[in-house]
Amino acid sequence: MNLSKVVPMAAVVTALITLSGGAWSEDSATGKLLPRTRPAVSVDNWSFQSALMGRTYDISIGLPLSYVAEPEKNWPAIIVVDGNRMFGMALDLTRGLSGSQEVEDLFVIGIGTPFEDGQDSWVRRRVHEFSPANEWPMTDPFGAVVKQLCEGQYQLTPAECVGGAPAFLAFIRDELLAVLHRQYRLDADKLGLFGVSAGGFFASWAVLQQGSPFHNYIISSPAMAYGDGEIFRLEASYAENHKDLKANVYMAAGMLETNSPFLEGVGKIVSGMAGFSGLLATRNYPNFRLQTEMHPGLGHSDAAAATFAIGLRRLYGK
């Protein structure tokens, strides 16, 4: 029933003001900042306790914009391993590009530590979960920095502090994705992984793992000094034992990182990425696709958004 056709408009307005407690009374909220929940369109937020990792994660899931309208379709998905910092950016860029029909509509899934656990929990988790499980003596420059962080700030032995990459990949594959496939309509053949810095190393490492569930990788400014050359030993071993590598990879970093004493001088981000890319290019794997670029005028932090946006275009473009 249309109330405006039954009750005079003045009476409707009077009733609304009365019901709201008087919109212009002295108790009005006008001119005040009042707390409210931030609206998020088609974003699910979950807490997930991992038996494999012994940790609780915040899992944020941005659904494809057409998810409800196409109930029979399975959708591509990209997992953002550094969800605390990168989920919002990745979701906004994905929805902007998919909304303009430039890339596929897809899930964006962020994995992060609970915000209430604080900064230390976020840093410790990244150092542990994104680093390889090799015999790393930590006598190299980057290893010395990590060792000081582990023993000095966190009071942990190196064995407790690093080496979690295999378990973290198993968590994503065997625990998280197993649940998500039951809960959502994911396309298992179009899964992607996005990592930045230490997360970029993890994504690079995952490219060469036999049990990786991913087909597409967007890698920004990978900290290739993790494990003191482990990524190159792993690449050589893979090449010796395999004739093909089924993966699509987009890697990039910022030009400003080239002259950074820490990022390049210690972390080997630019030279490590170039070396890794160059080796992969020589292997001539039939089902491997690789694109590597440098972003002019950008550094470690702002290159991540450019890498993700271009990576989406290259790997999920229409």
pLDDT per position as a tens digit, 258-291: 999 999 999 999 999 999 999 999 999 999 999 9
pLDDT of residue 44: 96
Surface-to-core class of residue 29, CB atoms within 10 Å of its CB (0-12 exposed, 13-18 middle, 19+ buried)? exposed
Q: What is the mean pLDDT of residues 43-66?
A: 96
User: In this model, does residue 135 exceed pLDDT 90?
Assistant: no
Question: Helical H runs in the chain?
Answer: 9-19, 83-99, 118-129, 141-148, 158-161, 165-170, 177-183, 198-207, 230-241, 269-282, 303-316
The residue ranking higher by pLDDT, 26 or 120, is 120
Q: What's the mean pLDDT in 99-119?
A: 95
* pLDDT score of 265: 97
pLDDT at 13 over 50: no
Contact (Cβ atoms closer than 8 angstroms) between residue 237 and residue 281: no
Residue in 258, 314, 313, 251 with CA at minimum distance from that of residue 279: 251
- Taking the CA of residue 13 as centre, how many other CA atoms within 13 Å lie in the half-sphere pointing to its CB? 4
Q: For residue 238, is pLDDT > 50? A: yes
What's the chain's average pLDDT?
A: 91
For the chain, percent of residues with pLDDT exceeding 70: 91
Q: Comparing 1 with 109, which gets the higher pLDDT? A: 109
Look up residue 304 and give its amino acid: A
Does residue 1 have a pLDDT over 70?
no
Question: Residues 221-244: what's their mean pLDDT?
Answer: 98
Tokens matching residue 76? 């591509």
Q: Two tokens at 63?
A: 């659904």
User: Which segment of 117-126, 188-197, 293-302 scores lowest on mean pLDDT?
Assistant: 117-126
What pLDDT is recorded for position 210?
Answer: 93
* Position 223 pLDDT exceeds 80: yes
Mean pLDDT of the region 73-102: 97
| Mean pLDDT in residue range 159-178 | 96
Bridge-based pairing state of the strands 216-220 and 247-254:
parallel
Percent of the chain exceeding pLDDT 90 equals 84
With a cut of 90, say whether residue 79 has pLDDT above it. Answer: yes
Average pLDDT for residues 160-187, to the nearest whole number? 97
Dig out the tokens for 19 from the structure.
């019901």
Residue predicted with more confidence, 158 or 125: 125
d(CA 237, CA 190): 26
Q: Check: pTM over 0.85? Answer yes or no.
A: yes
Least confident of 27-36, 45-54, 59-68, 132-141: 27-36
What's the confidence (pLDDT) of residue 161? 95
Q: What is the pLDDT of residues 190-217, one digit of tens each?
A: 999 999 999 999 999 999 999 999 999 9
Average pLDDT over residues 73-93: 97
- Top-confidence residue, 261 or 8: 261
According to DSSP, the residues that pair with 112 across neighbouring strands are: 58
